[in-house]
Structures are given as C-alpha cells and as structure tokens.
A and B are shown apart, each in its own frame.
Chain A
Amino acid sequence: MPMDALENSSVQELLILLKQRHIEALDVLYPMYGLAFYRYARHHHLTHEDAEDVVQTIFCRLLDRIESYDEGREGGERWLWRICHNQVIDCLRRQKSSQLPNAEMLVGEFDPDAYLIDQEQVNAFARGWAALDESDRTELKRGRGRGLGRKAWHAAVVKLRDLCRFEE
C-alpha cells in the first residue's frame, strides 16, 4: 500500500489496515504515537527506561489484540489510549509503593529552552537525513547490529553527523 495513502488515513483506518495484516500501518502508527505514549508514561513519573518499555509493551499489546479490535465500537485513538493508560497503570502497580521517584526521574513542567533545543535537533536531523544517500539511509534503517556494529552503519552515522551539523 502506498505510504501516501497510509499517511492520509485516520487512526481507525490504520488500525483496520493493521487488522488486515498490512504491516506498513505500523510504520505510521508507531512514529505517530510512540513519543506521545512515552511522554504520557514519563508524565506518570516512570523512568526513561520504564517509559520505553511501556511504549514497547503498548504496541505489543496492540498487535496481540488487533484481531479482536472492533472498529464499530472501540473507536481508534480512544482504543490506543486505553491500552496506553492500562499499561502505564500496570507498570506503576508493579513498582513497589515505597520506591518513590527521585527528582531526576520526574518530568517537569514545559521548558521552553529544552523545547527549542529539541526542535533544533529535529530540524538538524531532518536536514542531514534529507541530504543523506539512499544507501546510507538503508544502512541506518537496518540498525547498528550486534557487537561492535556494522562498519557500513558506522560510516553512515559519521556522514549523517556531518550533514546534520549539530550545535554543541
């Protein structure tokens, strides 16, 4: 299925596509909700590691349940957020009540400076990514690999870093 068509689909349509085993729908859903779910978990005082795990678990649960997804009743986004909320609550319950989050774990209020830095990073990454060769992108998509990592991946990363020109 063309990516343009996927990107113009609603969440409900994406979930239906996923239910029909169009794995490409996940390429839209995961980027679309990964960060939102991560922030939601962090907002509930989960650590970065726990929040990452929760996001993974949310999508695993989504895939487990996608067969029983009832588009007529469940809605789209609401269904996703319910899974997210349940997973966050489960994670919180698993934690010992005495284990209070320390200050570093907590997500503070909106920080304009951090936001701008984030935006700069995104913009820089986007510039670098756009300038990167397709072969390097493919290498980066494949991932670093086990152990010391693949040489091709390292080479692509160096290129990307140069292209991004991240400010120190």
Chain B
Amino acid sequence: MTLENVHNKGFTKRARAHMQSMDQAAKDLQRALNLSPEMKYKIVSFLAHTEQAKKASSEEELSAKTPVADEFASLHFLKPELANERPPSSFADLRSPKKSSHKRVWFRSLAAILCVVFLVGAFALVLQMVHQSTSEGSSPPGLYTATNNSVSRLGDKNGHLTTLWSYTLSAPWTEQRIAEYNKSIHRSASAWTTFIDSPVTVSGNIAYFGGNADDPNTHQFHHYLYALNATNGILLWRYQIDGGKSGIPSPVFLQNGQLSTFSLEPGTVTGPPQVAQDLVYILVASKPYALPQYSPSYSIVALDRETGSVHWTTHYFADLSQMSVASDGSMVYTTDANLLMAFNGENGQKQWTKEVSRPNNYSGFFDLHLVNQTILATLSTYAPTDPTSTSSVYAFAATTGELRWESSRINGLISPLMIDQDEVYFGSETGTIAALSLQSGSLIWSYRTKPSEAIVSVKESGGVLYADFTQSGPLQQNLPSKLSLLALDAHHGTLNWKTSLPGTYQSSLMTLGWNESQLIIGNSFLYASLSDGTICSLSISRGLAISCDQLTQDHTIPSLTLIEGSAG
C-alpha cells in the first residue's frame, strides 16, 4: 500500500466519523425535542455551522410568512439558488441536472423542438421507405436488361448507355466442369450454363426475374425467382422454385437419354413476374411439355414481394400458358390452349373457365393482357410449319369471362398486342400492322409492308406507333436478317418514317422471338434489342441510331424493361 493510499484511507475514515457524529448529534436532538424525522437533516445544518444557520433561520422566517406550496423550498436554504430544485423522480432526471428554472425551461423547449424534429424526420423517412418499397413510381430509373445469364441496369445519358450494375447468375462453365457434368449424366453435353428465364420486372425498389443456377455439388440445376435491390443490384432473396415448397419435380429431365433443351424445363419462369399489392406472381412451367408421357402442367406461385415467402401455389394442366394479374391482385388470369381461366388472387382458387372454339388442335392463346376490366387474348395456330396459320384477338369481361368480341381472322402469327386507351395494335408475320377498336374489335386501319417483312413488335407513344420488323419471317428460322423500324400515325395508320437498324436480327420461334420486351420507348428515345446481344438507342423522331452497345456475345436477344427517369 502506498503512502498516498494510506493518507486517503485516513481521510475517508475521519470524514466518515465527522459525518456520522454530525448525523448522530442531529438525531439526538431530533429525538430529544420530539421533532419529525426530516428535521434531523435540517438540524444538521445548524450543527455544521452556526452563522449560516442564523442566516437560514431568518430566511426561514421570511418564507414562513409567505409560505410557498413547495415542499422542497426549504431543502436548500443554505444555498438559495438551489431552493427550487427537486430530487429527480427517475433516473432520466439525473441525466439533465437542473441548474435553474430559466435554464430548465430553455432546455425543455430545446428538447421538445428536437423531439418534434426527430419525430417528423422519422415519420418522413418511414413514409419514404414505404413509398419506395411499394410504389412503382419510386423504382430506380434505368434500362433493365436480361441477357443470357446476367441482368443489368443501364443508365442513359443522351442515348448513350452505361452499366450501373450487373448481376450474373454464375460464371460460364470451365472445361473441367463440363467434363464432370458429362460424367455424371453419362452423356456428352455441350457447355451448359445458367440462363435467365424471364424478362425483368421492376416494382418499387426490387427487380424480379426468373433464372436457373447449378449446384456444383449435386450437378443439379435449380430454377429460382430472384429479387435484387434495383438501386445497386444486390441480391435480396431468391426463391427455389423446383422441389421443396412448391412440390414441382426435379428440374433436369432426360428424354431418351438426351437432355432436352427445346422444351421449357420444369421450374422455368415463363413470362415476366407480375407484382400486385404485396405479392409477386410467377407462372412456372412445372413439367416438360415435350414429354408425351406426362401431361404438361403449370403452376402459379404467389410470393411475398419483400421476403419471397410463398403465399399460395396452384397447379393446372396446359400445353402453353400465359398469365396476367389484376392490378389490385384480386384475380389471376391464365390460358390453356383455347381456355381462359381465372383464379382468386388471394388464395389461388379457380373462379371460372371460359372456352373458345379453335380452328385446329394446334391452336391456343399466345398472348394475354388485362386492360380496364377487359381481358385481351390472341389465339393463334402455333404449329410453326403450318402455312395456313391464322390468328384472332378475343376480348373477355374480366369479372365473368363473358366474351365481348372476337376479331376477324388474321393471316399468320401476330405480335404481342399493344393497347392504349381506345385501340389495340398488333403486327403480323405477313407484314400487316393493324389497329382494332378496344370497344368492339372492329378494324380501324391497317398498314401493309412487304409480305416478307414480319412484324416483331409494336409500341405506341405520343400518337405514333413504332414497329420493328425483319425481312424474313419468324418461320424462316436461323436466317440472318436486318431489323428495320417504322413509325406510323397511330390514329390513321399513315407512314411517318422508316429506317434500318444496324446489325443483324435472327428470329427464332424457339426462343419466342416475339418478345414484347424488344422494343421500348421512353426518355425520348427508342431502345431496340437485337439478336446479337446489342441494344441500340435511337432518336424517337427519325429512328436514327445514336448508340449501339453489345451487352453479350451469346447471341441472345436482351429483353428490356424501362423505368423512365434520369439514371446518370
């Protein structure tokens, strides 16, 4: 023990003794005079120093003459400035020692203002977060593209695209990986890589898309619904579609010892994910439609849009199916050949089925839209070698499925429908662009290009209808072709201008080259995706190419999703 410690201990001992003797003397007096217990502490002050006690007594006399209704007024009569102080009623009071009434008021006012500012700020932040997470308008602007195995968000600066982020499912396989895989399946396979299944849907701050990924340990592919943070491309969650929760069978199937790549694999997300209210809906091909021994079937899976947890799943048999979800999430519509089906959006229960006649067993609904309580569907012959294929557009009441109108037959396959307030636009593989009345289905106008020019997609914006077309129709697969673009007056069908896009376009029915995500209008530009993985931005007035960027070397047609606004 140091000398200092000894001194300290001695002082503490003396101080304690001094305090205790003072306390004891006061207690003796308090008892002897039969005073209240609290008087002991008041007597202490008299015992401690006589002069001050005199002063205190005179102050006490004054205060006794004008009593203040404050039991603590007499606590600190030795120090008048402390007379207004009260002991803290809670520990929180200890954090803000009270100096004076004026200061206390000032501090309380400041604290109140800070609290109000904090609460208002927090409320605004919560509102903003809710708004960001739920509303379409707050989606990060940009051009979202899905190529072979990656999804990207591109920023646009005067038509020039820059990559803001890119999410790749997995790297291409190495030779060793291919060899391992071939050994595991006892056959020879070419380089197998992961694929994006669907176009990207951006809702709130989340970008959704379907895609597969392989498990290096089990050599099994699994299909997933991916949810990325649309601002930075970070994976929020992914839902494994095959197996597990949805009960959909294993994704890899063998057909006569061959891996079938032609048909939709089980677990493939077909069409873009659709978001309504708090759910994201996906249509999943759950069995290979090319396998004769199985009845091809589909599943609708409704998941929580924020967490990916499954709300409900329903299965139905169909050869080829499309899905459209009501904006309020109340109903989900799907097709099966010539059947239109409606499911309850909240629990997946089937509500009704509507059947239409079809010209042959190879016909079915190709395209499905829901606009203003009207379901629009295209029925086409999907036998790719049928020269007599025709298409028709049907309109149904969304609530009951009642047929409202049926368009006259159109030669050949037709592109996905473009619908605005009053008109329905489409283009055919035989070079016809037509506008129908949304109310009656009657033909308003039609425009013919050359019969060899197949219309790939049509888009309307600002009273102008844009259409991209090839010189060789989709039936002539794998033939390189130029992709051209024309602009028509949307109300009269007269030609505004026509131009050719750079590069080549290779249409393919197998990949459903009739992809409505290939021509996008927004930010005063046209964006067109080409078969060599190139995206071109063009001036909306003349169709002049401003910039063309090749996103991938995989010769896939990038699907495009545009959220308008400046994204750098």
Question: Interface residues, chain A, CB within 8 Å of chain B?
Answer: 3-4, 7, 18, 21, 23, 26-28, 30-32, 34-40, 43, 48, 52, 55-56, 59-60, 63-64, 66-67, 75-78, 81-82, 84-85, 110, 112, 114-123, 125-127, 129-130, 134, 137, 140-144, 149, 153, 157, 160-161, 164, 166
- Assembled-state Cα–Cα distance A78/B88 (Å): 10
Contact of B52 among A7, A66, A117 (CB under 8 A): A7
Pairwise interchain contact B41-A125, C-beta atoms closer than 8 A: no
CB contacts (< 8 Å) of A153 on chain B: these are: 28
- Assembled-state Cα–Cα distance A59/B21 (Å): 13
Contact of B35 among A84, A121, A126 (CB under 8 A): A121
B49 within 8 Å of A (CB atoms): yes
Pairwise interchain contact A31-B11, C-beta atoms closer than 8 A: no
- Assembled-state Cα–Cα distance A100/B81 (Å): 37
Pairwise interchain contact B25-A143, C-beta atoms closer than 8 A: yes
Pairwise interchain contact A122-B60, C-beta atoms closer than 8 A: yes
B322 within 8 Å of A (CB atoms): no
B495 within 8 Å of A (CB atoms): no
B119-132 Cβ-contact flags toward A at 8 Å (1 or 0) = 00000000000000
B3 within 8 Å of A (CB atoms): no
Pairwise interchain contact B46-A116, C-beta atoms closer than 8 A: no
- Assembled-state Cα–Cα distance A21/B15 (Å): 9
CB contacts (< 8 Å) of B54 on chain A: these are: 126, 129-130
- Assembled-state Cα–Cα distance A23/B69 (Å): 35
- Assembled-state Cα–Cα distance A118/B42 (Å): 10
B1-31 Cβ-contact flags toward A at 8 Å (1 or 0) = 0000001100110111011111111001100
- Assembled-state Cα–Cα distance A55/B14 (Å): 18
**A112 with B38, Cβ < 8 A, contacts A26-B15, A36-B87, A78-B97 known:** no
**A40 with B87, Cβ < 8 A, contacts A27-B22, A116-B67, A130-B54 known:** yes
Pairwise interchain contact B24-A118, C-beta atoms closer than 8 A: no
Pairwise interchain contact B87-A143, C-beta atoms closer than 8 A: no
Pairwise interchain contact A123-B44, C-beta atoms closer than 8 A: no
Question: Interface residues, chain B, CB within 8 Å of chain A?
Answer: 7-8, 11-12, 14-16, 18-25, 28-29, 32-33, 35-54, 56-58, 60-61, 63-64, 67, 69, 71-72, 74-76, 78-79, 82, 85, 87-89, 91, 93-95, 97
Contact of A21 among B11, B56, B74 (CB under 8 A): B11
Contact of A63 among B15, B36, B82, B93 (CB under 8 A): B15
CB contacts (< 8 Å) of B47 on chain A: these are: 140-141
CB contacts (< 8 Å) of A39 on chain B: these are: 38, 72, 75, 87
CB contacts (< 8 Å) of A126 on chain B: these are: 46, 53-54, 56-58, 60-61
Which residue of chain A is the closest to B47 with respect to CB atoms?
Answer: A141
CB contacts (< 8 Å) of A114 on chain B: these are: 36
CB contacts (< 8 Å) of B74 on chain A: these are: 118-119, 122
Which residue of chain B is the closest to A37 with respect to CB atoms?
Answer: B87
Q: Chain B's nearest CB lies how many Å from the CB of A67?
A: 5
- Assembled-state Cα–Cα distance A54/B128 (Å): 52
Pairwise interchain contact A144-B25, C-beta atoms closer than 8 A: yes
Pairwise interchain contact B33-A157, C-beta atoms closer than 8 A: yes
Pairwise interchain contact B97-A28, C-beta atoms closer than 8 A: no
Pairwise interchain contact A143-B46, C-beta atoms closer than 8 A: no
CB contacts (< 8 Å) of B72 on chain A: these are: 36, 39
- Assembled-state Cα–Cα distance A116/B8 (Å): 43
- Assembled-state Cα–Cα distance A157/B409 (Å): 122
A-B contact count (CB 8 A): 182
- Assembled-state Cα–Cα distance A133/B57 (Å): 16
- Assembled-state Cα–Cα distance A142/B29 (Å): 11
If A43-B87, A81-B88 are given as contacts, then 6 extra A-B residue pairs at C-beta distance below 8 Å, sorted by A number, are A39-B75, A48-B37, A60-B16, A117-B36, A119-B74, A126-B60
Most A C-beta atoms less than 10 A away, residue of B61, B64, B94: B94
Pairwise interchain contact A143-B53, C-beta atoms closer than 8 A: no
Pairwise interchain contact A26-B18, C-beta atoms closer than 8 A: yes
CB contacts (< 8 Å) of B79 on chain A: these are: 7, 32
Pairwise interchain contact A3-B60, C-beta atoms closer than 8 A: no
Which residue of chain A is the closest to B63 with respect to CB atoms?
Answer: A119
Most A C-beta atoms less than 10 A away, residue of B32, B67, B79: B32
**A23 with B16, Cβ < 8 A, contacts A110-B71, A115-B67 known:** no
Contact of B36 among A3, A55, A118, A130 (CB under 8 A): A118
Pairwise interchain contact A121-B21, C-beta atoms closer than 8 A: no
Q: Chain A's nearest CB lies how many Å from the CB of B240?
A: 52
Q: Chain A's nearest CB lies how many Å from the CB of B43?
A: 7
Contact of A140 among B25, B45, B82 (CB under 8 A): B25
Contact of B64 among A37, A67, A78, A120 (CB under 8 A): A120
**A3 with B57, Cβ < 8 A, contacts A118-B39, A119-B67 known:** no
Of the A-B pairs whose beta carbons lie under 8 Å apart in the complex, a sample of 21, sorted by A's number, is A3-B52, A7-B78, A18-B15, A23-B15, A27-B48, A31-B41, A32-B78, A39-B72, A40-B88, A56-B19, A63-B19, A78-B97, A121-B39, A122-B60, A123-B64, A125-B57, A126-B61, A129-B53, A140-B47, A161-B33, A166-B33
CB contacts (< 8 Å) of A21 on chain B: these are: 7, 11
Which residue of chain B is the closest to A164 with respect to CB atoms?
Answer: B33
Pairwise interchain contact B60-A59, C-beta atoms closer than 8 A: no
CB contacts (< 8 Å) of A143 on chain B: these are: 21, 24-25, 28
Pairwise interchain contact A23-B49, C-beta atoms closer than 8 A: no
Closest CB pairs A-B (n = 10): A126-B57, A31-B45, A35-B41, A144-B28, A143-B25, A27-B48, A40-B87, A34-B41, A78-B97, A31-B44
- Assembled-state Cα–Cα distance A137/B50 (Å): 9
CB contacts (< 8 Å) of B63 on chain A: these are: 119
Which residue of chain B is the closest to A117 with respect to CB atoms?
Answer: B36
Q: Chain A's nearest CB lies how many Å from the CB of B68?
A: 9
- Assembled-state Cα–Cα distance A166/B36 (Å): 12
